[in-house]
């Protein structure tokens, strides 16, 4: 939002008073006395949903902004926008509940003059280009998409004061105060796409980073979790796994100062493309890259420090941090309240954030330690894999530094059930850090350690933690080829104590006959899947041990990718017969 108009703390509307009427409706709506939903996660039962439904916070059709640009006219304030460009409040709720972040978008931006936020259409050109690209993304990457995209923009969505004196009716002023009191919610809501427009026109000295309100909006946006609606995409490039999590985080995008809308083919901006310079990979739409500048979430203490730093920088440049000095303490208090909502999360996906520095991960660790209700934590592919990352980190032991920052945050997550730290090059030293933290996650059910560099020493440390994880159901060690027989033998010594284990993945660990023989004899009766594929040291000699295991565990599938071990098809036949029977039952 970042406007230059005065913003004052709105008084809460009494629960018993009559609410303002719906947009376009003559009948007043009684107040909703309670809002039981979670403000930043639920699409009903919240004050934000109530405001949308009653039209207090108006939602404008994306086509309105395209209409304005086509006619060479700046977008107008709410009172001047023709009625046909608004989406009815009840229709907003229906579309939002059906499509979430694919439907509802809010922009954070700098007002470029006191009378009008965008008098020369600088922002408008960027908004239209982004909306066209976003709609192309929806059309090309999702099976189900909304027919129209709804926009929240403060100047267009809230009733504005047109002159220096008050021009709004009593009802409009009441709706304005109600909506302003909840304007932080769409920035932080998981199911609303928030886009930061960080550029300002050349004639404006005061940048996006010189303003207090944009710091607030930006920090709230950075704290929101990924959208499940946006992650449910159809991108099937040959390197899709590298992009897991990135689509979902497109509910928080940052558009840089140097973004040039005139050079963008908006349709192509929303389509995937083939990059001949990157080993012939299919790439997701370029608009998805705008999630890549996501910053780590801030605690209130970090936010206050950032505000002071921004204040000092603004003073050096001779520009005000706030146009109204009374806003600063209000914003600090408002962020405290926003943070209390941001940490009410049960799932946190931080995958593929390879551009973060150790300082970023330290800040994120502070946030994780506040979010004690988290049940699922995905940190897959979070190690820096940029060729220059060793220079950024100051030494080459990147996995160790990553775990130094993240592991200390895990013990406080007493509700944690799923932990994914795959694709991070976790070595033995990092595994030791991780093992110490895991001893405190007693409710953990799934642990993904795939695609790391854990060896026998790391497995020894992890085995001590695994003894205490009585709820663990899935352990994935796929592609830890340093484990070898010694590491698998260490696992065999503890696996019998893992009395809830259902799936065990030791494929591509360089496991040999002796390791697998001991493991097969020790697995608990709860086991339903043992994956041994891609271990070339396995031979026919170990098959009788697997046959005995399946006699003891009649519901256990033993998976082997034929041709990726040295077990012959003839020797494998009795195991495969049991597998086929179990496949048919499932």
Residue 150 to residue 60: CA distance in whole angstroms: 6
Q: Which residue has the higher pLDDT, 323 or 528?
A: 528
Extract the tokens encoding 463: 């085995």
Could you say which of 1.10.10.10, 3.20.20.140, 3.90.1150.10, 3.80.10.10 is the CATH number of the domain covering 343-585?
Answer: 3.80.10.10
List, in order, residues 6 or more apart from 464 with CB less than 8 Å away. 435, 439, 494
Residue 486 to residue 387: CA distance in whole angstroms: 33
pLDDT at residue 394, rounded to an integer: 42
Say whether pLDDT at 23 is over 50: no
Task: State how far Cα 370 lies from the chain centre.
Answer: 17
pLDDT at residue 376, rounded to an integer: 95
Residue 262 to residue 69: CA distance in whole angstroms: 13
pLDDT at residue 395, rounded to an integer: 40
pLDDT at residue 428, rounded to an integer: 93
pLDDT in tens, 505-560: 999 999 999 999 999 999 999 999 999 999 999 999 999 999 999 999 999 999 99
Q: Whole-angstrom distance between the N-terminal and C-terminal Cα of the chain? A: 53
Say whether pLDDT at 282 is over 70: no
Residue 529 to residue 559: CA distance in whole angstroms: 7
Q: What integer is the mean pLDDT of 463-477?
A: 96
Residue 183 DSSP symbol? T
Backbone φ and ψ of 23, nearest 5°: -60, 120
Reference 331, options 46, 1, 58; nearest CA is: 1
pLDDT at residue 143, rounded to an integer: 87
pLDDT in tens, 70-117: 999 999 999 999 999 999 999 999 999 999 999 999 999 999 998 899
> What's the chain's average pLDDT?
87
Residue 355 to residue 211: CA distance in whole angstroms: 25
Extract the tokens encoding 187: 């920035």
Task: State how far Cα 219 lies from the chain centre.
Answer: 14
Is 58 exposed, middle or buried (CB count within 10 Å of its CB: 0-12, 13-18, 19+)?
buried
pLDDT at residue 359, rounded to an integer: 86
Say whether pLDDT at 244 is over 80: no
Task: State how far Cα 497 lies from the chain centre.
Answer: 35
Reference 513, options 492, 483, 543, 477; nearest CA is: 543
Q: Model confidence at 167, in pLDDT bands (50, 70, 90)?
A: confident
Instruction: For residue 254, give the H/E element and its range.
Output: strand 252-255
- Boundaries of every domain in the chain: 18-317, 343-585
pLDDT at residue 358, rounded to an integer: 82
Instruction: Please provide the DSSP assignment of 486-497 as one string.
Output: HHHHHHHHHHTT
Q: What integer is the mean pLDDT of 393-406?
A: 63
Q: Model confidence at 10, in pLDDT bands (50, 70, 90)?
A: very low
pLDDT at residue 164, rounded to an integer: 75
Extract the tokens encoding 420: 């994914």
List, in order, residues 6 or more apart from 176 with CB less than 8 Å away. 158, 159, 168
Helix (H, G, I), strand (E, B) or coil at 214: helix
Nearest-Å Rg of the Cα atoms of the chain is: 27
pLDDT at residue 5, rounded to an integer: 38
List, in order, residues 6 or more apart from 334 with CB less than 8 Å away. 184, 216
Q: Which residue has the higher pLDDT, 539 or 293?
A: 539
Is 489 exposed, middle or buried (CB count within 10 Å of its CB: 0-12, 13-18, 19+)?
buried
Among 233-242, 273-282, 405-414, 540-549, which range has the highest average pLDDT?
A: 540-549
Instruction: Please provide the DSSP assignment of 307-353 as one string.
Output: HHHHHHHHHHHT--S-SSTTHHHHHHHHHHHHHHHHT--SEEE-TT-
pLDDT at residue 408, rounded to an integer: 86
Among 16-20, 72-76, 280-284, which range has the highest average pLDDT?
A: 72-76
Reference 204, options 318, 323, 113, 136; nearest CA is: 113
Q: Are strands 18-19 and 29-30 parallel, antiparallel or unpaired?
A: antiparallel
Say whether pLDDT at 63 is over 80: yes
Reference 242, options 193, 296, 281; nearest CA is: 281
pLDDT at residue 584, rounded to an integer: 81
């Amino acid at each position: 939002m970042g406007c230059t108009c005065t913003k004052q703390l709105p008084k809460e509307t009494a629960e018993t008073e009559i609410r303002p009427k719906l947009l376009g409706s003559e009948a007043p709506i009684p107040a909703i006395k309670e809002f039981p939903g979670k403000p930043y996660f639920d699409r009903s039962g919240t004050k934000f949903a109530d405001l949308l439904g009653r039209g207090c916070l108006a939602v404008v059709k994306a086509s309105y902004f395209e209409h304005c640009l086509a006619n060479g006219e700046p977008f107008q304030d709410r009172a001047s926008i023709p009625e046909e460009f608004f989406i009815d409040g009840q229709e907003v709720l229906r579309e939002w509940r059906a499509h979430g972040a694919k439907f509802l978008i809010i922009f954070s931006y700098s007002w470029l003059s006191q009378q009008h936020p965008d008098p020369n259409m600088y922002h408008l050109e960027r908004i239209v280009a982004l909306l066209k690209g976003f709609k192309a993304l929806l059309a090309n990457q999702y099976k189900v998409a909304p027919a129209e995209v709804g926009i929240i923009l403060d100047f267009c969505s809230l009733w504005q004061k047109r002159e220096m004196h008050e021009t709004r009716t009593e009802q409009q002023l009441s709706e304005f105060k109600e909506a302003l009191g909840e304007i932080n919610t769409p920035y932080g809501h998981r199911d609303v796409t928030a886009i930061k427009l960080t550029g300002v026109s050349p004639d404006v000295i005061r940048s996006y980073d010189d303003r207090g309100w944009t710091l607030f909006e930006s920090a709230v946006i950075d704290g929101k979790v990924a959208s499940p609606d946006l992650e449910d995409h159809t991108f099937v490039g040959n390197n899709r796994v590298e992009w897991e999590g990135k689509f979902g985080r497109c509910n928080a995008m940052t558009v840089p100062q140097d973004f040039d809308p005139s050079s963008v083919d908006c349709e192509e901006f929303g389509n995937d493309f083939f990059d001949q310079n990157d080993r012939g990979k299919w790439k997701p739409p370029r608009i998805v890259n705008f999630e890549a500048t996501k910053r780590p979430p801030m605690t209130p203490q970090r936010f206050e420090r950032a505000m002071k730093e921004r204040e000092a920088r603004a003073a050096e440049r001779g520009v005000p941090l706030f146009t109204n000095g009374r806003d600063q303490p209000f914003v600090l208090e408002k962020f405290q309240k926003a943070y209390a909502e941001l940490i009410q999360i049960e799932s946190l996906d931080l995958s593929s954030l390879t551009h973060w520095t150790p300082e970023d991960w330290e800040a994120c660790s502070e946030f994780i330690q506040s979010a004690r209700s988290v049940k699922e934590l995905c940190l897959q592919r979070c190690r820096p894999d940029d060729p220059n990352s060793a220079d950024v980190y100051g030494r080459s032991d990147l996995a160790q530094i990553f775990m130094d920052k993240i592991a200390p945050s895990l013990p406080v997550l007493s509700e944690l059930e799923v932990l994914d730290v795959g694709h991070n090059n976790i070595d033995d030293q990092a595994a030791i850090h991780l093992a110490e933290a895991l001893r405190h996650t007693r409710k953990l059910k799934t642990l993904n350690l795939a695609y790391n560099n854990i060896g026998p020493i790391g497995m020894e440390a992890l085995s001590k933690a695994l003894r205490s994880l009585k709820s663990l159901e899935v352990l994935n060690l796929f592609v830890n080829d340093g484990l070898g027989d010694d590491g698998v033998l260490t696992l065999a010594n503890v696996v019998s104590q893992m009395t809830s284990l259902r799936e065990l993945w030791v494929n591509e660990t360089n496991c040999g006959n002796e390791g697998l023989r001991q493991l097969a004899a020790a697995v608990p009766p709860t086991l339903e899947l043992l994956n041994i594929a891609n271990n070339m040291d396995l031979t026919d000699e170990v098959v009788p041990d697997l046959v005995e295991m399946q006699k003891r565990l009649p519901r256990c599938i033993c998976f082997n990718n034929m041709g990726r071990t040295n077990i012959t098809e003839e020797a494998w036949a009795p195991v495969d017969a049991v597998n086929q029977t179990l496949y048919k039952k499932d």
